[in-house]
Chains A and B, each alone.
Chain A
Amino acid sequence: MKGVPANTARVVTVGGILRREEMDIVLNPYDRKTIEAADYMRRRVGGKLVAMSMGPHPKIIPIMREIFDAEVSGIDEAYILSDKRMAGADTWATSYTLSKGILKVLSIHREAIETLANAIESGEAIDKVEALATDLYRRNLIPNKIYSDKPSIRDTLINMLREGKISRSDAVELLREEAKRVTTNFVIFCGMKAADGETGNVGPQVAEALSQELGLTIPHASFVVDYEYVSERNSLLVKRRLINVMQILELDLPSVLTIHVDYSAPPVPLTGRRASLMNSYRGKNTNITIWSADDIKADPRYIGLAGSPTVVGPGIDISRPHVRKIVGLSIIAAKDIDKINYGDKTYGPFKKGDLLDSLPEDLKRDLVAKGLAKTFDYEDLAEEIISILRG
């Protein structure tokens, strides 16, 4: 998720760097589709939907609060990477930082399962094991299939262990496999671009950065308009825009998708609901976690301005004052007009078609009377439209 300026006409920059802390910040509009796509995956296979953003947390927290209720189920958990040293990051430094944050989220979950496995392996009493499982479950760190307090879910790993349906060593082995899957069974959804920078680089770059952090190859696909999970091969079948066609790709998990605005989630199939529930967690954890650069063990040389290979030079304003011609009301120059001395001021020169609305009323009347100015009409509008389309 990215926080972007609410009004791109009122951006605050210092030396080309966005000062997000000084502007009204909203959720990047393209990220709505991202949530929709991720929400589908969450409902389809279970697990949990984790939102992550980098930016000043006072501005990002309200955005995160809102998306707990977004789409069908909303997000389950939120992490904000917030640190003054992260400011001024280009897409390279942003992707590095996000990959470190993602790595930490994965580690926490893997370690939770490993802690439980270790406790069982070391021969802890079953009540102690269950107490530990309860704690991890309440903190949203282990899924229903390991432990659950939902009455509808009886066949959890801990229950089976307590009832002697599986041995301690079986439980340990199952948990260790589960722990490994944490770092392989995930999908990262990104917006196709952000409304402010409009680069779309972060999705593919996070795939590469995280590949390097995890020491495995994480494929990515950009501009995804449709996708489906293929359970037989634990992969994603993806349809994405590529030049003049749709390319259909199959991506192994873990993978990164950037979601095109044309994406819309299909209905979730009825089959697999039980498996999805077992893979899911207790519920939502609405306590938003805020991590600094040190928390995620980010190399300070690789983050923020220091970690950015690109440098933004001073922006050049090319905006003209907004002029609007109103059919039947605006006065325009009927022909080229030289400089006009009027009262103690000089106006012009004007080219044919220039808007004269800001001139004094008397002068406009005078110019109209002389045939130098006229009311902007449909034909003038047609003329301008044609000239723009020809130009």
Chain B
Amino acid sequence: MQSQNQQTQTLNMLPPTPDIESYRDVWTFVEIFRGELISYSLEGIAAARKIASKVGMKVGALVAGDKVSDDIAKTLIEHGADYVVAVEHQYLADYEPLAYTEALEEIVRLRKPWALIFMADEMGRDLAPRLAYRLVTGLATDNIDFDVEDFFHGLLKEKFTNILAQIRPDFATRIAKIYTPRHRPQIASLRPGSFKPLQRDRSRVGDIYRYTPSLKNYQKKVRVVDYEKIEDRGAELLGAKLIVGLGLGILRDAEGNAKNPLEAVDMARKILDLVRRKLGVETALGASRALIHADVKELREIITHDIQIGQTGKTVSPKVYIAAGISGAIQHRVGILRAGSVVAINIDPRAPIHEIAHYSIIEDLYRALPKLYEALQKKLESR
């Protein structure tokens, strides 16, 4: 029962989705890219499963392409989908946002899913916002978890029961819950790596609905011309679990004597190789802007722009970041905000990098790196 006040308030707000009670099921958009099922899309099915089980709904896997094979559809069902919605059109052969938005808009308006989960990769981040705007509904981006909760809307003084709580990191130290109480579908994107795909169950069966969109409002304003391999040497930085970042400090030792910086590079590489070999995790070498701009002759082929970490370089998210000879200017710190733990090696105890470090080594890096290598080697070989 709405109070007078509440009705007035509602009139002054974005109108809610009409017929909101008719929206059912939790869908996840499964990415097929250049004929391949993008494997982390299976995490979206796991997330949808979690949500659906809490609200007693079914899980639909939404797939688009010029033709979606039975094999792919079957795979999705065996990984937890109750049914597959395959949207098929020749214009969907290659991904581009206009045709995909148009096609997904049609199927969503037709079948009315209650929630729709995208993966928060480049495709999901390109497509979901446009679709959400078109459908006049909310989008919560880059979530790490979902729940189903009751939510009290402070402005409306109204309680919404059993809606999707979209859980995402907020300013490094907090998590926030985002709700879309008055609009459907509740659209969210899921950060890859946040859910484990469900165990494949070959006994699972489900329906496959095939739909050919009319694309009647579609205008071909984008043409896919080609694809290129990513040649960026620094690409490995983005997936690395351990990164050693080198800064201007490697040019001199603690006494101020010029050093051959290749020594520091070699020591860093020894640590990275050891960890990669023994723990089987990806590792990478990075550098600060200051070191790259110093344009040191010996480092020219090694310390390049590709591996620059920081505001104007790459933003990395390793589990462990070892900063050697880096002072920790804010521009560099921006690039390592997402790092799990920071190990700072800097002889100057007042260097800003120590402020954000979880571990500090206040010692000449030319002494510290070999000691760290030996300690790691001892611990890793004794196992």
Give me the interface of A with B, judged by CB distance under 8 Å. Answer: 8-9, 11, 15-16, 29, 32-33, 90-93, 95, 195-196, 198-205, 207-209, 217-223, 237, 239-252, 255, 261-262, 300-302, 305-319, 323-329, 377-379, 381-386, 388-391
Contact = CB atoms under 8 A, between A and B. Distances in A.
Interface string B338-363: 00110100000000001001111111
B202 interface: no
Given A383-B379, A389-B319, A90 B343 contact: no
Interface residues of B, number: 99
Contacts of B126: 204, 220-223, 242
Given A220-B130, A249-B222, A312-B178, A390 B376 contact: no
B13 interface: yes
B139 A201 contact: yes
Contacts of B31: 243
B14 A324 contact: no
B230 A324 contact: no
B180 interface: yes
B8 interface: no
Contacts of A305: 155
B223 A247 contact: no
Instruction: Choose among A9, A223, A247 the residue with the greatest number of B CB atoms under 10 Å from its CB.
Output: A247
B379 A379 contact: yes
Contact of B359 (A93, A196, A255, A324): A324
B55 interface: no
A316 B136 CA distance: 28
A33 B315 CA distance: 14
B228 A310 contact: no
Nearest to B172: A8
B97 A204 contact: yes
29 contacts: A9-B172, A33-B312, A91-B129, A200-B141, A201-B139, A204-B133, A209-B133, A221-B97, A222-B122, A244-B230, A245-B228, A250-B223, A301-B13, A306-B12, A306-B14, A307-B13, A311-B178, A312-B177, A312-B178, A315-B175, A316-B175, A316-B177, A324-B360, A378-B374, A378-B375, A386-B279, A386-B379, A386-B380, A389-B320
A91 B139 contact: yes
A252 B223 CA distance: 9
Interface string B164-183: 01000011111111111111
Nearest to B167: A316
A326 B361 CA distance: 6
A126 B183 CA distance: 57
A11 B171 contact: yes
A190 B223 CA distance: 21
Contacts of B262: none
Contacts of A247: 95, 224, 227
Given A308-B138, A313-B178, A245 B229 contact: yes
B320 A249 contact: no
Contacts of B312: 32-33, 261
Contacts of A209: 133
B132 A219 contact: no
